């Protein structure tokens, strides 16, 4: 297996471990407190990804300030909603809904970017929604606010991707990362202070730190992966998180998807891969970058 693909697989495993840690902390802290500490620790490690040709002053020097702030706010809201959904509904169901994001990008790109979308990509969109219905089964199973939060998270993640496409060639990574971390600390800090903030003990602090470290580790590994393999080979490894959702849910949270849910998860993954394949056919490449994580 090429080194780049292996690194990408480990990166997405690291992201999944972070989500699993967050889920385990759900009954101990508020959504905002988990978000604050995970952003704090992830931010500390992510600053080591600063390219050599960028400066710290790029943190506040922006060419398109409103777009940068909009992307940061979408990422923060996505993070808060993801924490809520991970702590209230099964991991596999969260991932099924979150992985609607690439399909929502297809829809938003036609509306906002005026891109042309062929029949195969529309088929992928329809199949993806069918897959989610097989997992969630509205009308046959009880739905929770966590499901709505996960879907809203997917929409915000798709919005972030659209904004990133317009910012990638104009803004520095330090600018985009700094805005996301800065807004995340302020928003979650205020939210934690306004709700039932509880000071974590040493053991809990270690777990909160692990959530951030796993996120930062995933980011660093993605940056390394892109040096060893082209984006169109790395991007499909994203869907390995669906497998991790099933494994972690079963091992640590006694969550066992039935066969219909497993079929639905497979359909969601296949629809996302089909979207990538058709995009590569149309553009000659997959629009993926090693800074593709839309939330911390």
Residue range of the domain that includes 269? 3-283
The reply to whether 232 falls in a domain is yes
The reply to whether 20 falls in a domain is yes
Q: Please name the residue that has the structure tokens 């790395």.
A: 234
The reply to whether 289 falls in a domain is no
The CA distance from 263 to 65, in Å, is: 43
**Number of independent structural domains in the chain:** 1
The CA distance from 26 to 218, in Å, is: 22
Residues 6 or more apart whose Cβ sits within 8 Å of residue 290: 219, 222, 223, 225, 226
Quote the pLDDT of residue 257.
93
The CA distance from 57 to 170, in Å, is: 16
Residue 199: is it exposed, middle or buried by C-beta count within 10 angstroms (0-12/13-18/19+)? Answer: exposed
Pure H helices in the chain = 3-24, 31-46, 65-86, 91-98, 101-111, 119-136, 145-167, 173-194, 202-228, 231-234, 240-253, 259-283
Quote the pLDDT of residue 283.
63
Q: Please name the residue that has the structure tokens 């296949």.
A: 270
The reply to whether 292 falls in a domain is no
CA atoms within 13 A on the CB side of 188: 29
Short-list 46, 11, 6, 7, CA closest to 185: 46
The reply to whether 294 falls in a domain is no
The reply to whether 46 falls in a domain is yes
The tens-digit pLDDT sequence of the chain (296 residues) is 568 889 989 999 999 999 999 999 998 999 999 999 999 998 887 777 766 777 766 666 777 888 888 888 998 999 999 999 999 999 999 999 999 888 888 888 888 877 788 888 889 899 999 999 999 988 778 889 999 999 999 999 888 888 877 776 677 777 777 888 889 999 999 999 998 888 999 999 999 999 999 998 888 888 788 778 776 677 788 889 999 999 999 999 999 999 999 999 999 999 988 887 776 666 665 555 544 566 76
The CA distance from 79 to 84, in Å, is: 9
Phi, psi of 268 (to 5 degrees): -60, -45
Quote the pLDDT of residue 290.
47
The reply to whether 288 falls in a domain is no
In the chain, the N- to C-terminal Cα span, in Å, equals 29
The reply to whether 183 falls in a domain is yes
The CA distance from 255 to 75, in Å, is: 28
């Amino acid at each position: 297996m090429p080194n780049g693909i292996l690194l990408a697989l480990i990166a997405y495993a690291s992201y999944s471990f972070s989500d699993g840690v967050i889920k385990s902390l759900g009954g101990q802290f508020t959504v905002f407190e988990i978000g604050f500490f995970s952003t704090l620790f992830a931010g500390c490690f992510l600053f080591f990804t600063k390219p050599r040709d960028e400066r710290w002053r790029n943190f506040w020097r922006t060419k398109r300030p409103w777009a940068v702030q909009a992307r940061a706010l979408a990422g923060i809201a996505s993070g808060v909603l993801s924490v809520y959904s991970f702590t209230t509904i099964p991991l596999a169901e969260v991932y099924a809904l979150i992985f609607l994001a690439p399909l929502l990008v297809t829809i938003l790109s036609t509306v906002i970017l005026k891109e042309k979308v062929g029949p195969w990509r529309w088929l992928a969109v329809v199949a993806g929604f069918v897959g989610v219905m097989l997992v969630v089964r509205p009308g046959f199973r009880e739905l929770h606010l966590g499901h709505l939060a996960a879907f809203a998270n997917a929409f915000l993640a798709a919005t972030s991707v659209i904004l990133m496409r317009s910012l990638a060639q104009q803004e520095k990574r330090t600018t985009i990362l700094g805005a996301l971390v800065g807004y995340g600390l302020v928003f979650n800090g205020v939210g934690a202070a306004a709700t039932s903030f509880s000071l974590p003990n040493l053991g809990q602090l270690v777990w909160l730190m692990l959530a951030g470290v796993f996120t930062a580790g995933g980011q660093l590994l993605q940056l390394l992966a892109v040096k060893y393999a082209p984006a169109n080979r790395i991007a499909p490894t994203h869907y390995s998180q669906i497998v991790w959702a099933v494994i972690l849910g079963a091992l640590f949270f006694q969550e066992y998807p039935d066969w219909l849910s497993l079929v639905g998860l497979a359909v969601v993954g296949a629809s996302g891969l089909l979207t990538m394949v058709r995009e590569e056919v149309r553009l000659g490449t997959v629009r993926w970058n090693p800074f593709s994580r839309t939330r911390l």
